[in-house]
Amino acid sequence: MTANWRTSLARLGIVWAALLALFWRDAADMASIWWNSSTFNHCLIIIPILWWLVDQRKSELAKLEPKPWALPLVWMAAASFGWLLGDAAGVALARHAGLVMMLQGSVAFLLGPAVTRGLLFPLFYMFFLVPFGEEFVPVLQTITAEMCMWLLGLTGIPAHIDGIYIATPTALFRVAEACSGVKFLVAMVALGALVSNLCFKSWPRRIAFMAACIAIPIIANGLRAFATIYIAHHGNLDFAASFDHVIFGWVFFGIVIALVMAAGWPFFDRAADAQSIHADQLAKVSGIALKPAIALGAMAAIVLLPFGWSIYIANRASPVPAKIDLPQVAGWARVEYRPLHPWKPHFAKASHTLLGRYRNAQGQEIDLYVAVYDRQSEGRELVGFGQGAAGGKSDWSWIENCEAPANARCERIGTKSQNHRDVISFYRVNGTTSGSGTAVKMATLKAKLLGGNQQAVAILVSAEQKGRENPRPAIDSFLNSIRDIDKLADRMAGLD
């Protein structure tokens, strides 16, 4: 190894250590997810795979001359700003991706265009360190449920679907988050990307193999879920549950991987001993060089400015009342909360939460839930995975969306015991009221970037379905009595 390589690698080691120290919370958060979430356990082997991919290339890379390169400053700036947006909006995915992109960018920035070209796939493969995929759980649940219904119809088993609940003469089945197949899908995509690089030269074949790695896990998961229902219908529920856990957890995944690899094997067009890169070709790649001192200074400024702004905003005062109470609503009286089935929305680590029941003279009843945050941060988001009317460890699940009033979201939720509710949700942040998660994230982002009010409020108005009675008229009547949701939310947050 030349002196230039030793110096460049030393600089890279220092920069990586500084980035991981500066953004240690995000690094620790990712590591915790890899270790504790079965969906992302496969990420634990991504690091040794990256090491192996680089080791494959080191003999050819050693023939090149590393040098600071100007163009990756753009990548570093995008990564740093993306991290800031994620931090401001409370989107962990954006922060995690921003950190990984900064690590990628520092490699390209300090080692230059030729070396970067040689490390292009390992750098790309670093994206699989980012825990992503849980965003697709609702869609995958729906696909799995619809596949089960289609297969049940083919086999003559009578069934009825209600959102993610499937009723058969044997039992009522719920396509839970764990049954969505997301952990299977994200692991297969990571494996597919690696195999596509190592075993194929042709881009059409790579694309076809990746398409198979996406489609086959989804189809296979639908078949697995159907098999569980089929066995339960013709056998017993306890055996079906144990079959589902053992077969899918220990055998099914391995069988599908083997089948995908076997199907792709005849089409592999890259020799197992083929050289990954060629130094003579990479040496022709050029770019605008920078002096090391200028390069390090520019990179430090790009990283530290957004980080410093985030700290400044986080330290601004954002008080909420020490105590809040449910409002008095004209025409409605507070009554004892006695639901047919217990219901409590999930808003993790809120500053205040309230839940109460109201009844009017016509006998209509609604439940009002309020959650107040002094500010949003990691694990304390108004809108996020597991938050809301059927979030957390609740036995309520989303069934379908329904027609919502202005600036709200309407959803129907249910339980395995066939209890149903309609829920109207309003979220208010920095003067914006909406039922859209995207709008709420954008309002949060604006408040944090520009220094607006950090307080956030969720107001959920819900009514149970009793028999065939439509719960929606009671909700609409209550909302008409409140009249101004914005003023109620601001009063709860101490802004009115």
Q: What pLDDT digit, counting tens, does each position of 238-294 carry?
A: 555 555 555 555 677 788 889 999 999 999 988 878 888 887 787 776 666 667 777
Dihedral sign for Cα 109, 115, 117, 118, please: negative
% the chain with pLDDT above 90: 53
Instruction: Return the pLDDT at 284.
Output: 72
DSSP character at residue 111: H
The whole-angstrom separation of Cα 474 and Cα 335 is 15
DSSP structure string for 219-276: HHHHHHHHHHHHHHHHS-HHHHHHHHHHIIIIIIHHHHHHHHHHHHGGG--S-TT--S
pLDDT exceeds 80 at position 315: no
Distance, in Å, from the CA atom of 467 to the CA atom of 135, rounded to the nearest integer, reads 34
What gap in Å lies between CA 382 and CA 371, rounded to an integer? Answer: 9
Q: What is the pLDDT of residue 446?
A: 87
C-alpha span between 95 and 85 (Å, rounded): 8
DSSP state of 249: I
Whole-number pLDDT of residue 428:
96
Q: For residue 60, give both structure tokens.
A: 């050819």
Instruction: Evaluate the CA torsion angle 133, 139, 143, 149 in order and state its sign.
Output: positive
Strand partners, 398: 413
Residue 350: pLDDT band with limits 50, 70, 90: very high
Q: What is the pLDDT of residue 493?
A: 93
Reduce the DSSP state of residue 353 to 3 states and report it: strand
* Distance separating alpha carbons of residues 105 and 295, to the nearest angstrom: 12
Give counts: helices (H), strands (E), the chain: 16, 11
Compute the distance between CA of residue 248 and CA of residue 224 in angstroms, rounded to an integer. 7
185: nearest Cα among 258, 132, 263: 132
Of 123, 95, 118, nearest to 107 (Cα)?
123
Segment 140-163 shows an average pLDDT of: 88
Q: Give the amino acid at 173.
A: F
Are the C-beta atoms of residues 114 and 285 closer than 8 Å to each other?
A: yes
DSSP line for 49-110 = HHHHHHHHHHHHHTTS----BSTHHHHHHHHHHHHHHHHHHT-HHHHHHHHHHHHHHHHHHH
Q: State both tokens at 217.
A: 């896990």
Dihedral sign (CA 18, 22, 27, 32): positive
This prediction has a pTM of 0.81
User: Looking at residues 94-122, what average pLDDT do you find?
Assistant: 94
Instruction: Give the model's pLDDT for residue 238.
Output: 59
Rounded CA-CA distance 366/462 in Å is 6
Percent of the chain with pLDDT over 70: 95
Does residue 88 come out as left (phi exceeding 0), alpha (psi in the -120 to 50 range) or beta?
alpha
Residues 195-206 pLDDT 10s: 999 999 999 999
Task: Tell me what pLDDT residue 359 has.
Answer: 96
What integer best gives the mean pLDDT of the chain? Answer: 88
* pLDDT confidence of residue 178: 66
In sign, the C-alpha dihedral spanning 120, 124, 125, 126 is positive
d(CA 434, CA 406): 8
d(CA 40, CA 31): 10
Q: Max alpha carbon distance in the chain (Å)?
A: 87
pLDDT tens-place string over residues 368-402: 999 999 988 777 888 887 889 987 778 888 888 89
Q: Which of 123, 44, 108, 41 is nearest to 75 (CA)?
A: 108
Higher pLDDT, 483 or 32: 32
Give residue limits of the domains in the chain. Answer: 3-131+288-315, 134-267, 332-493
402 contact partners, CB below 8 Å, separation of at least 6: 410, 411, 412, 422, 472
CB 453 within 8 A of CB 445: no
Can you tell me the distance from the alpha carbon of 107 to that of 86, in angstroms, rounded to the nearest whole number?
23
| 3-state percent helix, strand, coil for the chain, nearest multiple of 5 | 55, 15, 30
